[in-house]
């Protein structure tokens, strides 16, 4: 078996992902860059989750999902080698700049294409948020963190429990109801509010308080709705219906005027490169600061 320690040269620690640390590495054979998630295989439940992640990554390949390239067992760790997204996260972009509605529409469409693919294959992502939406300098937008995907069967269209993060949780998750793919649509709606307001609803509440507000049927609202077009407001409303039956599916949202009017993903290139350049400059200043 090929030795991954010889095949890849680690370049930079990126951060902590679901179940493991992620680094940027060089493929010594091709000269290309990859991301490697290193997962500690300890404990029966953890092992089950990681095998689930590995299998779902292998079987669910799509242009709008961060794709699996290879895997290795190294000293009790599972190394998952994935394509490297050199534009960082949507969360970074939101923190650095104000997005135009055209940019929001293009990002929303790319995410919905990934979600429609997953949902059509009976898979729930269940962890959609801005830090799990990755960008590349060619304009690509992809959903990441497949460690939280959950596989449904065609007969089992709902799941009794779904992990999530407080600010992005759908009401049915908070109240412990059986959950289906539309939990991802609620989360995408929260990402939409993030893109508009540069913060998550209930950000300054405790996780418990945020969950209580969601459980009581409090649909998050834009603080200054008049600053957004009626088309964007309607799109967010379609995503953030507290009644799951009234919430639109990914397939239906792809036909929403806000999404169908979106420009090609390549139009995101100036935005992504600008934010990347600004982050490099900030990092340089931090290094040079005494």
36 and 107, same structural domain? Answer: no
Which phi and psi (to 5°) does residue 115 adopt?
Answer: -70, -40
139 and 258, same structural domain? Answer: yes
161 and 19, same structural domain? Answer: no
Residue 146: inside a domain, yes or no?
Answer: yes
172 and 113, same structural domain? Answer: yes
For the domain that residue 249 is a member of, what is the CATH number? 1.10.510.10
237 and 137, same structural domain? Answer: yes
For the domain that residue 12 is a member of, what is the CATH number? 3.30.200.20
β-partners of residue 123 are 151
Q: How confident is the model at residue 61 (pLDDT cuts 50, 70, 90)?
A: confident
- Domain's final residue, options 83, 111, 132: 83
130 and 51, same structural domain? Answer: no
β-partners of residue 22 are 15, 37
Residue 290: inside a domain, yes or no?
Answer: no
Burial class (CB in 10 A: 0-12, 13-18, 19+), 82: buried
Nearest of 132, 129, 118, 21 to residue 79 by alpha carbon: 21
184 and 116, same structural domain? Answer: yes
Residue 157: inside a domain, yes or no?
Answer: yes
Residue 54: inside a domain, yes or no?
Answer: yes
Counted domains in the chain? 2
Q: How confident is the model at residue 18 (pLDDT cuts 50, 70, 90)?
A: low
Q: How confident is the model at residue 152 (pLDDT cuts 50, 70, 90)?
A: very low
Domain that holds residue 76: 4-83
Task: Give the pLDDT confidence score for residue 14 in this predicted structure.
Answer: 82
220 and 176, same structural domain? Answer: yes
- 32 Cβ partners below 8 Å, 6+ apart? 26, 84
CA 88, CA 82: separation in Å to the nearest integer?
Answer: 14
Q: Which of 56-60, 124-128, 206-210, 256-260 has the weakest average pLDDT?
A: 206-210
105 close to 143: Cβ distance less than 8 angstroms = no
116 and 49, same structural domain? Answer: no
pTM: 0.83
- Domain's final residue, options 83, 99, 133: 83
243 and 125, same structural domain? Answer: yes
Residue 284: inside a domain, yes or no?
Answer: no
CA 228, CA 226: separation in Å to the nearest integer?
Answer: 5
45 and 9, same structural domain? Answer: yes
69 and 163, same structural domain? Answer: no
168 close to 90: Cβ distance less than 8 angstroms = no
């Amino acid at each position: 078996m090929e030795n991954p320690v010889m095949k890849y040269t680690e370049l930079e620690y990126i951060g902590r992902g679901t179940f493991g640390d992620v680094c940027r590495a060089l493929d010594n054979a091709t000269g290309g860059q990859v991301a490697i998630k290193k997962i500690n295989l300890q404990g029966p439940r953890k092992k089950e989750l990681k095998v689930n992640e590995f299998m779902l990554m292998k079987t669910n390949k799509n242009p709008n999902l961060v794709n699996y390239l290879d895997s290795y067992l190294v000293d009790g760790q599972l190394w998952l080698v994935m394509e490297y997204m050199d534009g960082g996260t949507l969360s970074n972009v939101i923190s650095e700049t104000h997005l135009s509605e055209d940019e929001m529409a293009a990002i929303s469409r790319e995410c919905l294409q990934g979600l429609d693919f997953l949902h059509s294959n009976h898979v729930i992502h269940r962890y959609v948020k801005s830090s799990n939406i990755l960008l590349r300098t060619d304009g690509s937008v992809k959903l990441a963190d497949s460690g939280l995907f959950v596989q449904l069967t065609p007969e089992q269209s709902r799941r009794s429990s779904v992990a999530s993060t407080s600010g992005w949780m759908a009401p049915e998750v908070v109240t412990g109801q059986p959950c289906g793919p539309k939990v991802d649509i609620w989360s995408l709606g929260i990402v939409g509010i993030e893109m508009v307001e540069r913060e998550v609803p209930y950000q300054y509440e405790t996780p418990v308080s945020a969950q209580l507000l969601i459980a009581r049927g409090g649909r998050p609202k834009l603080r200054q709705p008049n600053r957004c077009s009626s088309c964007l407001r309607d799109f967010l409303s379609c995503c953030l219906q507290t009644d799951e039956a009234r919430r639109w599916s990914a397939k239906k949202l792809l036909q929403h005027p806000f999404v169908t009017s979106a420009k090609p993903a390549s139009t995101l290139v100036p935005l992504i490169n600008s934010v990347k350049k600004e982050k490099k400059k900030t990092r340089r200043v931090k290094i040079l600061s005494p």
